[in-house]
A and B are shown apart, each in its own frame.
Chain A
Amino acid sequence: MSTVETATDISTFTVDISDEAIEDLRRRITTARWPTKEVVDDDTQGVQTKMLQELVRYWAEEYDFGRLEARLNELPQFITEIDGVDIHFIHVKSEHENALPIIITHGWPGSIIEMLGIIGPLTDPTSYGGTEADAFDVVIPSIPGYGFSGEPTEAGWDSARIGKAWAELMSRLGYTSYVAQGGDQGAGVTDAMGRQAPDGLVGVHFNFLDAVPKELLMAALNIRLAFSGDERDELSKVIAVVMRGYIAEMGEHPQTIGYSLVDSPIGLAAWMLDHDADSYGKISRAFLEGQASGNLTRDEILDNITLYWLTGTGASTSRLYWETGRAGKASLKDPPPHVRIPVAYTVFPQELFQAPRHWVKSAYHDLIYYNEAEKGGHFAAWEEPEIFAAEMRAAFETLRDEGSAS
């Protein structure tokens, strides 16, 4: 009925979760078959049974399954097909003129749920201790294969291809001057955008140094002895990240672990919670001691896991690691261009590793902003939305001026 060309059409989107899907999930949770508990008193054998059982108890007995749908449907959501895949995104325009458009990309085991808390502070800064001049128009897409985006049906959807899709998305939304932000896999996508430097992208911000594996790690492995003691510690943390079981498995055989993640809710929950020691500890305390770290509450954590479950995306989300691994190997032979546009970086103190300024500087030559935030870990936007939003304001301040001047 519309005259808009189908391929670039943007449709509104509403989350609609069936009662059967929720009933099935509840049934699976309550009939879960549990292993014997770990034989250690800490998390060195993985997600602890006591913690997971408490999470599952809360999930089945106290968690409000209507939350997820209600929270998302309060926000303007859309779907548009790009490069053959339906892309789901949240798009909230600020009421303030001259708001800076920003596209923010989540990672694994995250989703758009991680980003919901920053929408207010970014789009409506005057209600959150900022000024009109701090306002952003916010675009929060779901990575292909994640959440309500479609699953790619062919190999090749690596960070670079996602980056190109994001540029197309911003252009479809009519944005001609915008910035991009990401941590975790979102940092990979944002890094790719920085290298592609599409028309309109004026700067990028990271809270994870994705460039480390690509550029710095290889160099560092060869010149390890040249690093100081402190940096060797950070480097060994980087290597430990790469050597994690979940990365090895998802990078090699995403389909194999996919069967677990799509068929067993407790298998999915355990796999998602076993990301890094800091976030695991925080999530564990949220469930066992009722002490959430910032916004990382039980309900928030279960919104995210429930989203993965209901969309059945355990295998398709894992495939991104397989794609990243392949692209990483290819980039060693055929390195992508350097990032020449302005880069901003925030170190969160409990992130997997704390990239020293000159690591960031060596990866990104035009480093316009570098700051160490006072708190927050791997899921910085989720855990500390106000601090995260303050970082965005500070990071991109100078680019706004340039933007309005140009």
Chain B
Amino acid sequence: MSGTTIDSATEIRPFQVEVPEEKLTELRRRIAATRWPEQELVDDRSQGVQMATIQALARYWTTDHDWRKAEAKLNALPQFTTEIDGTELHFIHVKSEHEDALPLIMTHGWPGSVIEMIDSVGPLTDPTAHGGSAEDAFHLVLPSLPGYGFSASPVEIGWDLGRTARAWAELMGRLGYTRYVAQGGDVGAGVTDAMGRQAPEGLIGIHTNLLVPALNGPMPTNTDEERAAAAQIATFRQSGQGYFVEMASRPQTIGYALLDSPVALAAWMADHDTDAYYKIAGAFLGDKPSGNLTRDHILDNITTYWLTGTGASAARSYWEAYGADAPAASSKPLPAPTIPFAFTTFPGEIWKTPRSWVEASYPNVVYFNEVDKGGHFAAWEEPELFATELRAAFTSLRTNGGQS
């Protein structure tokens, strides 16, 4: 199967997920052997992930969840690996049948993975089957962040957002794309923002659904809308960022439990933000999923983390991006991107980003919209709405592209 003349350093190899049955048996054994604490002393999320939620999740995980379905879903998509900058990177690459489709690289975050993005593949690459037109089509590239999912874990420090962004540009180059756009939320927004600042050749615009600069410094608080968003950030900082501080400062310490205990991993991942937590709790306790955020999809993602054993390496990405001891801590951020910037505010996101903050952060805003549903995991929860946003966000860049 080798014997090709392609340079092994830039070779792109097909990839399939094949998890041995004993790994699944071992996972079920560990879940069944879970030693549980007493339940929390409050009636809400204020002490963290509630026992009723995590126990319902654990029960469903061992009795109903079928990893093989997730595996088949992944393997139905063209997946590849290629080594970039010393790290073997995994990605899904789906070419649209439509000519002139716009190439798009979309980056997941924590505690996400390519699982978040795979239900957007249809609407984005095959728009005519999903209420769009041929002109809405994208060629889609969905990489796994270094240290996440099926990408390898970096074995040296320095894989910060900027380095990942450079790897993405290299990846798009290797795939032969000379004009493309990039998109991301959460950590993926950090990578996408960094790509915008680096402005590699070929990158003509970016879209994010999390306003990265609002994490890095104070934003204006002149209007009610701005003050409300600032208050949401303050609430997150006071009551919801334990995971963030721990992963940014001590990723290895928390990594031990994330690799050794499936329930610890599931709880740590479910404890992201209030909106997502209650949606996940609702899915397991009442079987009332919010959109596409179903029990199976949630467990597809958690099981991906478990089977790839990437709790510690994923946590390290926070250390690289935000840790006081990481190399990036002493580097100055690049100036704001001048390439076209598009943003969508999803109402359930940690804070509801006002247009004014977007305009204060990026000089060349070509698109801003506020939609009526969806939260932090927007692509996952509302894939059709998300795809509609990306179509609208990048329309003007396609037109310009045709002219140039």
Contact = CB atoms under 8 A, between A and B. Distances in A.
Nearest to A34: B259
Contact of A260 (B249, B261, B316): B261
B221 interface: no
Interface in B222-245: 238-243, 245
A221 interface: no
Interface in B327-345: none
A45 B257 contact: no
Contact of B256 (A153, A251, A253, A266): A266
A45 B252 contact: yes
Of A252, A254, A312, A314, the most chain B CB neighbours within 10 A belong to A252
Interface string A141-163: 00000000001111100000000
B246 A252 contact: no
Interface string A222-252: 0000000000000000000001111011111
Interface stretch (A36-44, A62-70, A83-91, A335-343): A36-44
Interface in B9-54: 34-42, 47-51, 54
Contacts of A255: 37, 39-40, 47-51, 267
A32 interface: yes
A254 B271 CA distance: 11
Given A45-B316, A263-B35, A34 B47 contact: no
Given A256-B271, A316-B37, A270 B257 contact: yes
Given A38-B252, A245-B249, A259 B239 contact: no
B140 interface: no
Contacts of A268: 257
A264 B49 contact: no
A279 to B, nearest CB: 14
B213 interface: no
B208 interface: no
A151 B47 contact: no
A151 B38 contact: yes
Main SS class of interface, B = helix
A116 to B, nearest CB: 26
Contacts of B34: 263
Nearest to A259: B267
A257 interface: yes
Given A45-B319, A253-B49, A263-B35, A35 B259 contact: yes
B41 A33 contact: no
A271 B253 contact: yes
Nearest to B42: A155
Given A266-B257, A267-B260, A260 B268 contact: yes
A312 B250 contact: no
Contacts of A47: 250, 252-253, 256
Contacts, number: 192
A246 B252 contact: no
B156 to A, nearest CB: 6
A274 interface: yes
Interface residues of A, number: 56
A256 B242 CA distance: 10
A14 interface: no
A218 to B, nearest CB: 15
Interface residues on B, range: 35 or more
Given A252-B241, A253-B242, A259-B54, A32 B260 contact: yes
B258 A35 contact: yes
Contacts of A154: 41
B250 A274 contact: yes
B251 interface: yes
A260 B251 contact: no
Given A32-B260, A49-B252, A258 B48 contact: yes
A315 interface: yes
A271 B48 CA distance: 17
A264 B313 CA distance: 18
Interface in A311-368: 312, 314-316, 319, 322
B157 A35 contact: no
Contact of A253 (B248, B261, B271): B271
A252 B239 contact: yes
A46 B261 contact: no
B132 interface: no
Contacts of A40: 157, 325
A295 interface: no
A80 to B, nearest CB: 21
Nearest to A315: B37
A262 interface: yes
Contacts of B254: 46, 245, 260, 270-271
A252 B240 contact: yes
A162 B47 CA distance: 20
Contact of B41 (A155, A243, A252, A262): A155
Given A253-B271, A256-B268, A267-B260, A46 B253 contact: yes
Given A35-B256, A36-B312, A252-B48, A258 B37 contact: yes
A101 B398 CA distance: 81
A63 to B, nearest CB: 18
B312 A35 contact: yes
Contacts of A36: 153, 155, 312-313
Most buried by B among A33, A45, A254: A45
A34 B255 CA distance: 9
Given A46-B254, A255-B48, A255-B50, A249 B245 contact: yes
B263 interface: yes
B48 A253 contact: yes
A72 interface: no
B50 to A, nearest CB: 7
B242 A259 contact: no
B264 interface: yes
Contact of A259 (B41, B259, B261): B261
Nearest to B38: A151
B311 interface: yes
Given A36-B153, A45-B251, A259-B263, A264 B48 contact: no
A274 to B, nearest CB: 4
Contacts of A46: 249-255
24 contacts: A32-B256, A35-B252, A35-B313, A36-B312, A36-B313, A45-B252, A47-B253, A245-B249, A248-B246, A250-B242, A252-B242, A258-B37, A258-B48, A259-B37, A259-B263, A260-B254, A260-B267, A262-B37, A264-B260, A267-B264, A269-B256, A270-B253, A314-B37, A319-B47
Task: Rank and list the top 7 A-B pairs by shortest CB-CB distance, nearest first.
Answer: A267-B257, A253-B48, A245-B246, A46-B253, A256-B48, A260-B257, A249-B242
Interface of B: 34-42, 47-51, 54, 153-157, 238-243, 245-261, 263-264, 266-268, 271, 309, 311-313, 316, 319, 323, 325
Given A245-B254, A255-B48, 11 more contacts: A34-B260, A35-B255, A35-B311, A46-B254, A250-B242, A255-B40, A259-B49, A259-B261, A259-B264, A263-B257, A264-B264
